Amino acid sequence: MHILPDELLIFGNLQSEIRKKGIYNIELYTGSFNIKGSFMGAKIPIPSYPDSEVLWNEAELIIGLGDVKGLSGKVDLQWNNGDYDFEGGSGQSGLFPSGIHAQTPIESGTIYSFQVNLELRGGESISFFPLGKETNVNIDSNWPSPNFQGAFLPESHDLADTGFSSEWNIHALARNFPQTWIDNQIDFYILQEGSFGVNFISPIDGYFKNQRAIKYRLMFIFIPFIALFLFEIFTRTKVHPFQYLLVGFAISMFFLLLISISEHLNFISSYMIAAGASSLLVSAYTGNVFRSRKKGGIMTGINIILALTMIVTRKLNWYKI
């Protein structure tokens, strides 16, 4: 028999950090949680199964966790002003894949309140289930770019460069499972459908900037080709199609260098190195083909203008123009 609390309050403070693993960034957090709740014993329905008996003295308080390895230190439980110890595992119910539980004998018709303090480590996201008849979740964090997700969005939130705060208030009528049930009438996957929480995302990283640079590829490719074609027309110098292809390969080196170098250096440094190498290669080849340093210098100027155009407009929101 599963009985959910009438009131569930969760207060969490998450301190996030970024750790590097190879060329990748991993968003991690350490959270301090205070969980409070109450059971209105007089309202607990007793099942009317033939020859059945409710063993109130074998009741357990269960806290489901996605991964118990994230627990840090001892978990304190206050049950009606008494101190109890948690044990590993999700208890006899088997409702949660992993978690902790404590033996909390109860009596029918008695009101019980509880408070749990725990430290939890995790990464990338955190989610909750609306298990209370009235569920209130308050989360504060120093992470500046949260992505709220799940079945419920926060009722209120505050975003700043120094972090965010958010609050959810969810009533039992908004979820798809009851306050009490017998045996396996409700499983973990039904609970999961009502989960909500926040993802810790990095909105702008090196790969995002590279993707933005690639969107300028047509400009980087066709404008030098047009300049090369005009040089051919005005100087009456025959340029073989294979030479156009070599110029195209030289231009494509910019994007290859940008992606590979940015995995080790910051984006601006990677961009300057890639743009400089590609520009010198195209300009030197152009000057050699037309046997004119002036033509090579003009091609260098074109490449510099293109590079500056991308740098200046990389943060521009074109949809607001």
DSSP string, 200-260: E--SS-HHHHHHHHHTTHHHHHHHHHHHHHHHHHHHT----HHHHHHHHHHHHHHHHHHHH
Whether the pLDDT of residue 3 is over 60: the answer is yes
Amino acid at 251: I
* Sign of the alpha-carbon dihedral angle for 51, 54, 60, 63: positive
Answering whether pTM is above 0.75, one says: no
Average pLDDT over residues 39-56: 64
Predicted pLDDT of residue 320: 46
The pLDDT of residue 232: 80
pLDDT band at 157 (very low <50, low <70, confident <90, very high): very high
Architecture of domain 2-203: Sandwich (2.60)
pLDDT of 48 reads 58
Q: What is the pLDDT of residue 123?
A: 85
Banded pLDDT at 47 (limits 50, 70, 90): low
Angle between helices 293-313 and 267-290 (to 10 degrees): 160
DSSP-derived secondary structure for 136-194: EEEEEES-S-EEEEES---SEEEEETTEEEEEEEEEGGGSSS-SEE-TTSS-HHHHHHT
Mean predicted confidence (pLDDT) in 123-132: 91
275-279 contact pairs (CB < 8 A, 24+): 275/303, 275/307, 277/253, 278/250, 278/251, 278/253, 278/254, 278/303, 279/303, 279/304, 279/307
pLDDT band at 66 (very low <50, low <70, confident <90, very high): confident
The ranges of the chain annotated as CATH 2.60.40 are: 2-203
Closest by CA position to 177, among listed 156, 200, 201, 193:
193
Angle formed by the axes of helices 206-214 and 267-290, nearest 10°:
30
Average pLDDT, stretch 74-82? 87
Mean pLDDT over each residue of the chain, to the nearest integer: 82
In tens, the pLDDT along 175-224 reads 999 888 887 788 888 988 999 999 987 766 666 676 766 766 677 777 77
| pLDDT, position 90 | 80
Report yes or no: 139 and 14 within 8 Å, Cβ to Cβ: yes
Kindly tell me if the per-residue pLDDT of 315 is higher than 50. yes
**pLDDT of res. 314:** 60
Would you say 96 and 43 are in contact if contact means Cβ atoms under 8 Å apart? no
Report pLDDT for 22: 55
Torsion of Cα atoms, 61 then 63 then 64 then 68, to 10°: -120
Looking at the chain, the whole-number percentage of residues with pLDDT higher than 70 is: 87
Residue 158 has pLDDT above 70, yes or no: yes
Residue environment code for 86-109, b if the CB has 16+ CB neighbours within 10 A, otherwise e: beeebbeeebbeebbbbebebeee
> Residue 269: its pLDDT value, please?
82
What is the pLDDT, as a whole number, of residue 141? 92
Name the most confidently modeled range: 139-143, 159-163, 281-285: 139-143
- pLDDT tier for residue 82 given thresholds of 50, 70 and 90: confident
HSE-CB for 315 with a 13 A CA cutoff: 3
Q: What is the pLDDT of residues 262-314, one digit of tens each?
A: 777 777 788 788 878 888 888 888 888 778 788 778 888 877 787 777 766 66
Residue 113 has pLDDT above 80, yes or no: yes
Mean local confidence (pLDDT), 83-89? 87
Residue 156 confidence (pLDDT): 92
SS3 36: strand
- Say what the pLDDT of residue 42 is: 47
